[in-house]
Amino acid sequence: MFGRSPWDELEVLRRELDRLLRSQLERPTAPFSVAFLPGRSARAYPLTNVSEDAENVYVQALAPGLDPEKLELTVLGNTLTIAGEKPAPEGVSADAFHRNERCAGRFVRTLDLPTEVDRERVEARYADGLLSIKLPRAEAAKPRQVKVSIG
């Protein structure tokens, strides 16, 4: 046989869907947060780190080659959505690739943040392929020190 049969391709698709659903069942509080870019499997793009301190939540997204003017950030409650488009390489036809792991296309990544943030004060910077987002905690989500009275 010279190539894969349509049944083989359907089996690959079934396995990928099973993997996606299993990963969501293991993390039931996380919404489907993968970007659907061309390629064999669904990938989470861009890759992110989320951290926090007493005042802010920080998100760093590894996203080289993007036009920062075309990035769309949306904040609602404790959810951050990063959307954009990764351009295809210029001057190379799809048939010329031997390996194509740096996919191109539209992406959407939704992240659940550990706390509600003040959407009016969010700051974002893009430099050297790294998108850095500072999300100040909402006042209601900040810890409040309570003085205990005596007597």
Confidence band (pLDDT; 50, 70, 90) for 38?
A: very low
Which pLDDT score, from 0 to 100, does residue 91 have? 79
Token digits for 112? Answer: 């659940």
Which pLDDT score, from 0 to 100, does residue 26 have? 60
More confident residue, 58 or 63: 58
Q: What is the average per-residue pLDDT within 30-41?
A: 44
Element (H, E) at 24: helix 6-26
CATH 2.60.40.790 for domain 32-92+102-140 = yes
Which pLDDT score, from 0 to 100, does residue 4 have? 66
Residue 22 has pLDDT above 60, yes or no: yes
Separation of alpha carbons 34 and 42, rounded Å: 6
Which of 116, 114, 112, 111 has the alpha carbon at shortest distance from 139? 116
Residue 67 has pLDDT above 80, yes or no: yes
Residue 50 has pLDDT above 80, yes or no: yes
pTM reported for the whole predicted model: 0.65
